[in-house]
Chain A
Amino acid sequence: MLDYLCAFVIGGGICVIGQLLISLTRLTPARILVIFVTAGVFLTALGLYEPLVEFAGAGATVPLTGFGYSLATGAMEGAMENGVIGAFTGGITATAGGVSAAILFGYINALIFTPKAKK
Chain B
Amino acid sequence: MKNPQTAQQKQYQQRVNEKMPRSNVLSQCLRAFVSGGIICCIGQAVRAWGQGPLGLSEENLAAFTAMVMVFLGATLTGLGVYDKIGTWAGAGSIVPITGFANSVVSPAMEFKREGFVMGVGAKLFSIAGPVLVYGISASILVGLVTCLLK
Chain A residues with a Cβ under 8 A of chain B: 3-4, 7-16, 18-24, 29-30, 32-34, 36-38, 40-42, 44-45, 56-59, 61-64, 66-68, 70-72, 74-76, 78-80, 83-84, 86-88, 90-92, 94-103, 105-116
Contacts and interface: CB of A to CB of B under 8 A. Distances in A.
Interface in B44-103: 44-48, 62-67, 69-71, 74-75, 77-80, 83, 90-92, 94-101, 103
Nearest to B138: A41
A79 B150 contact: yes
Interface in B111-150: 112, 120-121, 124, 127-128, 130-132, 134-136, 138-140, 142-147, 150
Interface of B: 23, 25, 28-29, 31-41, 43-48, 62-67, 69-71, 74-75, 77-80, 83, 90-92, 94-101, 103-106, 108-110, 112, 120-121, 124, 127-128, 130-132, 134-136, 138-140, 142-147, 150
A61 B43 contact: yes
A110 B75 CA distance: 9
Contacts of A101: 66-67, 70-71
Given A11-B39, A18-B91, A109-B78, 14 more contacts: A9-B37, A12-B34, A16-B29, A23-B23, A37-B131, A38-B138, A57-B47, A58-B43, A91-B136, A98-B66, A99-B132, A106-B108, A109-B109, A114-B109
Contacts of B46: 58
B136 to A, nearest CB: 6
A-side binding surface: helix, strand, loop or mixed? helix
Contact of B65 (A8, A58, A71): A58
A15 B91 contact: yes
Contacts of A92: 136
20 contacts: A8-B41, A15-B91, A19-B29, A30-B131, A33-B94, A37-B135, A37-B138, A41-B139, A45-B145, A64-B96, A67-B97, A75-B142, A75-B143, A79-B146, A91-B139, A92-B136, A101-B70, A102-B100, A102-B128, A110-B112
Contact of A18 (B74, B95, B121): B95
Contacts of A22: 90-91, 94
- Which 3 residue pairs of A and B lie closest in terms of their CB atoms, listed nearest first? A11-B40, A87-B143, A15-B36
A3 B56 CA distance: 18
A18 B86 CA distance: 13
Contacts of B35: 12, 15
Nearest to B111: A110
